[in-house]
Amino acid sequence: MAIVVDNFSTEKRSFTFFLPAILGTILEYYDYALYGFCSAKLAVHFFREDDPTVALLKFFGVFIAGSCAKPLGALIFGYIGDQFGRSPALKMSLFGIIVPTLVVGLLPGYDDIGWLAPLLLLLCRITQGMLVSGEYEGVRIFMFEFLGKENPHFVNSLSNFASYLGIYFASVAVMLTTSQDLPDWIWRLPFIVGGVLGIFIVWVRRHYLQETPEYVRYRARNPKREINSWISILKRNKRTCLAAILLYGTAGGGYHFYFVFFGNYLQSSLGFVESAQSAFNVSISILIYSVCGPLAGWLCDRYGPFLIAKIAFYSLLPLIALNIYMLAQSVMPFWLMGLTAGTLAFFHVPGAVTLLQKFEVSIRFRCSSLSHALGSMLFSGTAPLMSLWIWRTTNIEIAPLFYFGLLCLLGFFAIREILNTNATQLLDSRTRGNDVDGFKATECINQLTDIK
């Protein structure tokens, strides 16, 4: 694979490169999220259990397998992204996820092929988990290196917006196929549509997705590819990587709790809401979360990421308490889910850009994708199963929400650590009269003071 270094105008061609990246992310997260939103239906279809909660437990076990496969995908695509370019990694990651999506849509159930059904479902989920790890971080890095110098948090929030827009489309597709008047096979249609659309997006990326200017300049200065071992990379960046694992993991865990687990919990386990109403509540909550993301990014660029994170965190605390109170009353109003979802967006956006700035171009893809994958494996993918296990163990309906609160608390500590160390690094650069990663050192004195 060769990187062609050419002189081009980023302003004129950035939109041409921006669109294929965003379209691919929307579709990839649409495909990936379908599995979670169809969990109640798939659990019954692929696992033979009289108790729907037991079937859901087994299903969430398969859900975890997808997260466990992410570190392997991060190792593969991180290497490709740093050694051969961001564009090749993104082209390859999208192609691999549409095939498992089509397979799930066409896969016979347990009643038809027995134990092969959950086995093949497991293999599809592992494949999706491995390949999606190269997509999310790849697109964030791609957009950051193309457009993220002036308004980095807003640009980063656009990639988040694209992924959650795909998740929203998946929730809408599931909502439209949950009516009892529709045939039983209708749940397959969103998977098949996603796989077919993926073929077109793969073609778009193959022909229009180009390399980022920052990586092109880096490769022009360093034409020889140096193979740095993972051990040496992690040793040099261990503190940042540990904070990144906690940040990504708790953010993903909070998302999986509130948008994947909680709706199914209220519907299948507690029986508080009907399936159609649950799908509607989750769908609108995700839309609110998606729309609030770019606004949060804009505010982070204007007022500083830690201030926004701090306000969002202290706003989440009473909202979580209110969720606990309402659940104890056997109700969960829609307005509360929407308000909690919007506040989560303001809490999750700060911090991610600072991580990208801390990693050098030569190791950015590897460190960021592996940290994200490990965080997902430890906190994100396990959140639904852990929450359901907490409820089954304690037999207390509100108990899973305390786990949700713990994830938010750990996430706040991670954001504080990341922004604190970055501000200190930039403040040190002030004595040398340098700017670090596009930030003026004097601007970070205020950030450091705010954190302290």
Contacts of 401 (CB under 8 A, 6+ apart): 320, 323, 324, 327
Contacts of 193 (CB under 8 A, 6+ apart): 173
CA distance 195 to 347: 32
* Better-scored residue on pLDDT, 14 or 358: 358
Q: Please, which pLDDT band fits residue 410 given cuts at 50, 70 and 90?
A: very high
Helix, strand, or coil (residue 9): coil
**Tens digits of residue pLDDT in 201-210:** 888 888 888 8
Contacts of 282 (CB under 8 A, 6+ apart): 37, 171, 259, 262, 263, 337
Phi first, then psi: give them for residue 439, nearest 5 degrees. Answer: -95, 140
Average pLDDT over residues 348-354: 84
- 365, 233 in Cβ contact below 8 A? no
Q: Is the pLDDT of residue 166 over 90?
A: no
Average pLDDT over residues 5-28: 64
Of all residues in the chain, the percent with pLDDT exceeding 90 is 16
- DSSP secondary structure string, 369-384? HHHHHHHIIIIITTHH
Tokens of 15: 């939109």
**Is the dihedral angle over the CA atoms 139, 27, 342, 407 positive or is it negative?**
negative
The helix or strand, by DSSP H or E, that contains position 23, with its residue range, turns out to be: helix 10-37
Q: Please, which pLDDT band fits residue 421 given cuts at 50, 70 and 90?
A: low
- 347, 408 in Cβ contact below 8 A? yes
* Better-scored residue on pLDDT, 422 or 56: 56
CA atoms within 13 A on the CB side of 61: 12
Tokens of 64: 């975890």
Task: Give the start-end residues of each E strand in 336-422.
Answer: none
CA distance 342 to 286: 9
What does the longest C-alpha to C-alpha distance in the chain come to? 70
Contacts of 39 (CB under 8 A, 6+ apart): 56, 59, 60, 63, 260, 264, 384
* Better-scored residue on pLDDT, 101 or 337: 337
pLDDT of residue 123: 83
Q: For the chain, give me the number of helices (H) and strands (E)? A: 22, 0
The DSSP output letter for 362 is T
pLDDT of residue 341: 93
* Better-scored residue on pLDDT, 358 or 95: 358
Q: Please, which pLDDT band fits residue 227 given cuts at 50, 70 and 90?
A: low
Tokens of 345: 């967006």
The DSSP output letter for 385 is H
**Is the dihedral angle over the CA atoms 423, 425, 429, 434 positive or is it negative?**
negative
Closest CA to 146 of 133, 165, 159: 159
Q: Is the pLDDT of residue 92 over 90?
A: no
pLDDT of residue 388: 87
- How many angstroms separate the Cα of 79 from the Cα of each of 86, 228, 250? 10, 10, 25
pLDDT of residue 422: 54
Least confident of 75-84, 164-173, 174-183, 404-413: 174-183
Q: Is the pLDDT of residue 44 over 50?
A: yes
CA distance 11 to 208: 16
